Amino acid sequence: MAEFAEVVAGAYETVKQSTSGIFYKFLVSIVLLLIGFILGKILGRLIFKFLHSFEVDETFSKLTGTSLKIEVIAESFTTYFVYFVTIVIVLQQLGLASTILNMIAAGVLILIILSTFLGIKDFVPNAISGFILQNKKKFRIGQIIKVKGMQGKIIGITLLETKIETKDGDIIFIPNSVLSRTEVTYVKAKSRNSKKSDDD
């Protein structure tokens, strides 16, 4: 009986130690997740404010004529990168890094590819159309055009879009891909002489 009691006591201590070890790892993992997610959010905002203080978006827009939100992209990338590193550390803490890490890495790669595709799906066709339109010199500043029921004077042409101003002073941005595949009507401006004759 004494030997049996010792075996039971030993088994109990083993289970207790292993359980407490798992609980400790789980608790540390929760704390690491909280710290990592908070840190990721803070670092993302700091990166955004740092780039915004140098007016990176405005400078890039002036240089390229595009409205790509570099500050927001940098903020998101920093935040999710810290999230990813945090998850890797937590998995290593739990001893699950090998298999699950490969699955997460594949998921992150797919997510990055999809995000990149969604980000450039409008950029690429508009840029190509803008390049073609500029080479053909189909449009120029001051020209009056009518497209899809909208009429106005061209006041700006960039690689991605063409800006027109209507009679009422409204500013309309038309993607270059729309201009390249839509019928555009060139409207002749009335001369002063024709206006005088109309008045007479």
pLDDT value of position 127: 73
Report pLDDT digits (tens) over 72-130.
Answer: 888 988 998 888 888 888 877 777 766 666 777 777 778 777 776 766 666 777 777 77
Report pLDDT digits (tens) over 144-195.
Answer: 888 888 888 988 887 778 888 888 888 888 888 887 777 787 777 654 443 4
Report pLDDT digits (tens) over 53-72.
Answer: 988 888 877 766 666 788 88
Domain 136-188 sits in CATH 2.130.10.10? no
Do 180 and 129 meet the contact criterion of CB atoms below 8 Å apart?
A: yes
d(CA 38, CA 137): 51
End-to-end CA distance of the chain: 126
Nearest to 122 by CA among 61, 163, 66: 66
For residue 152, which phi and psi values (nearest 5 degrees)? -175, 175
| Extents of the domains making up the chain | 2-121, 136-188
